[in-house]
Structure 1
Amino acid sequence: MYLYHFGIRELPFTLTPNTSYYFGLPSHNEALEVLLTALKTGEGFIKVTGEVGTGKTLLCRKLLNELPGFFHTAYIPNPMLSPEDLRRAVASELEVELGESVDAQSFTQKIQQRLMAIHQQNKSVVLIIDEAQALPDDTMEALRLMTNLETESRKLLQVVLFGQPELDEKLACAAFRQLRQRITFSYALKLMDADQIFQYVAHRMQVAGYANPPVFTPRCCQLLYKASGGIPRIVNVLCHKALMLAYGEGRAVVIPADIRLAAKDTEAARTPASLMIPAALCGLFGVTLMAALLWHSGVSL
């Protein structure tokens, strides 16, 4: 690929939530501060929402890494679970053995015993659920009932919900008004502006091992902002494709035409007038990449 060409150790714009690439955007830092403060004060329900691709899962992983040692964490990455499956998932995370069939009452007794044992060790239990907008309605209610477990002074189980804006829509329904009233802290992630994108892409290149002048100019980052709307995931996709184009032409920097072609080739990207390219060039992205691959393989054209 283009690693040797740009002098980097690894691909800087992959879509996996690698915490070593955590940049610390103001919005993400604020959300992390809210989460840590709320958890340390013993709040029951905390919610973080953000559009698709804004880095919720990365923030979730960062939170798991940043929590002090007196927190015992349980992490549910896929909440498309029935109430029984959710109970089993929570039990597994808390190292509680359940029989082949267990009703809600038996589960509550076993979980409460485990939570009390952890509490007596001066630890707090935090249940973190990613993609919480996908929780089925009856599972959402089962989750609310879990948080009824408490001592006279504090909750035995704290819950952090990470979800898309659809989570707010779900919680706005009258059926979930009891759960909504228990959410004491919430935060909505913001999108990046052009200046933040410039710093973001430079940071990721640096983490990957790049040590030369910026590959992405402020002008290119303006175009990245217009094409991505400030969504980190789309920025990553566009940057990866732009680097491929620059590599294919043997350039050390990305030029505006690379961003335009990358945006044209990406369904999720916006294509305002400032990003439009002539129809004759629409196929250039694929042609350029094919030429680069053939050249890299030593095939003459």
Structure 2
Amino acid sequence: MLDISPLTWAVTIGFIVALLAVDLILAAVRPHHVGFKEATAWSVFYIAVAIGFGVWFGMQYGNAAGTEYFAGYIIEKSLSVDNLFVFVIIMTTFAVPDHHQHKVLTFGIVLALIMRAIFIALGAALINSFSFMFLLFGLLLVYTAIQLFRHRDEDPDIETNLMVRGARRFLPVTADYVDGKLVTKVDGKRLFTPLFIVLIAIGSVDLLFALDSIPAVFGVTQEAYIVFTANAFALLGLRALFFLVKGLLDRLVYLSTGLSLILLFIGFKLMLHWAHVDVNESIPEIPTPLSLVVVLGILLVVVVASLIRTRTNPEEKAHPGSLRATKKQEDDA
């Protein structure tokens, strides 16, 4: 286990909060359409920050720790692309005005970080107390991978989301977005705007993604600090990445298949680790450098194969995949 001091934790969290604060301030003070140049600049900045942190971390705590961080970061970054798909669907479903999408994404990232921090703390405590959690996490990832592959050509049905349906049923909601406010007053009555419902939709989706991504990164490291920073730096660049690649997302037709393979691989890695620790030490484990190579290889194949496929079949559109059949398919069945 690494000896991460409370000061290092505090400085790291403070730095991440400061970056989030800048995003929130920009979103609140200057709502605007984020163009390609601005999105590119922010994307490069966040990737540079993540790499710079990884280099410092590796120099400070050793190459093995640095490799674990980069493996975790790449896994979380690849899984976050599926987040982007769903964000696009939510924005489209609720017809979020272009100049308010910046704010929605930033709030979504804050919610995702909070939920991941909670799951990381719980996951680390469970793993430290019960080694069989590696088996349970592994089985969860394998199940998720199978479900994602089965429904790889589907989109999640946001309209049937339990939290969204409940909010629409029990909360008074305005007809328009009221300058991007979450709550407003009309004739002395406090009303919620559609933006509040959008945040509920994103928050509930973030919860589902956290259930998958946290066990996945625990597959390459058991260090809570690495799990947290890999998640945080992967999520920080999500807003800029959304505006940068939302036009490209439709072309990644094999992304869901690739992500299901990554989850399946990490799931088996976790189960092998459990078997090595609890069953027999002669059972081999998958080393982190190999995990890094496998994940990068899958992503490279997915991107190249997707671009070739959509070049020959331009009418094909990518889907984020779903963990269960959509309402339409259930009705058809």
TM range (shorter): under 0.3
Structure with the higher fraction of residues in helix conformation: 2
TM-score by length of 2: 0.21
TM-score by length of 1: 0.23
Q: Work out which of the two has the higher radius of gyration on C-alpha atoms and give 1 or 2.
A: 1
Structure with the higher fraction of residues in strand conformation: 1
Q: Which has the higher contact order (CA 8 A, sep 6+)?
A: 2
